[in-house]
Every structure is written in structure tokens, then in C-alpha cells.
Amino acid sequence: MLEVLESLAYHFVEDEHYNYFDDMYSPDYVCQDIMETIIEAVKSENFPVEELRRLKDGLEKLKQTEAYEDYGVPYALSVWEKFIHNHWYRY
């Protein structure tokens, strides 16, 4: 998942993929669905602790990218941030 989000963030800016995204085409839709599935696994405590730590660290790095800071891409990161904000005491 992290590799997909990193690639999405990189190519969104570097290759100007923002020119191609619209309501009918956005890889971020799939990423959002995957993130929601991951969140459900975390909530049900069916997600390995080491993988959760790796995911959190990787997503934290993604928050520093131009794509996320300037364009909010990948949106799946916003979904994660909302989850963490609402459940900060557990994760």
C-alpha cells in the first residue's frame, strides 16, 4: 500500500497527472477503498503491530510531500489522518 501511495504522490506532481484525474478516473479512489479496508482491519485488531508501525511511519513521510501538502493527494492519507485523530489514544 505504501509503495502505491508513494508512486501516486510522486507521479501526480512530477508527471503532471493532475491533468488527467477527473470524476471518472482517479487511482486515489482505489487507494481510498484499500485504506478503508486497512482501517477496518486495525479496528478489529487483525493487523500486525509491526506492519501498523511501518504503515504509520510511511504515511507520516507522505504527509511531507508536495502532492499531499499542495494538492491533498493521496486522499487516502486524509482518511487515515481522520481515523488516527478520532482514535489517537489507541494507535
- Does a structural domain hold residue 82? yes
Domain count, the chain: 1
- Does a structural domain hold residue 91? no
Tens of pLDDT, residue by residue over 23-73, are 666 778 888 999 999 999 999 999 999 999 999 999 999 999 998 999 888
The whole-model pTM stands at: 0.78
> How far is residue 28's CA from residue 68's CA, in Å, rounded to a whole number?
12
| Res. 84: pLDDT tops 80 | yes
Which phi and psi angles does 62 have, rounded to 5°? -65, -30
- Does a structural domain hold residue 63? yes
Query: Long-range contacts for 36-39 (Cβ within 8 Å, ≥24 apart)?
Result: 36/79, 38/1, 39/79, 39/80, 39/83
Q: Which domain holds residue 35?
A: 2-86
- Does a structural domain hold residue 42? yes
The amino acid at residue 86 is N
pLDDT band of 14, cuts 50, 70, 90: confident
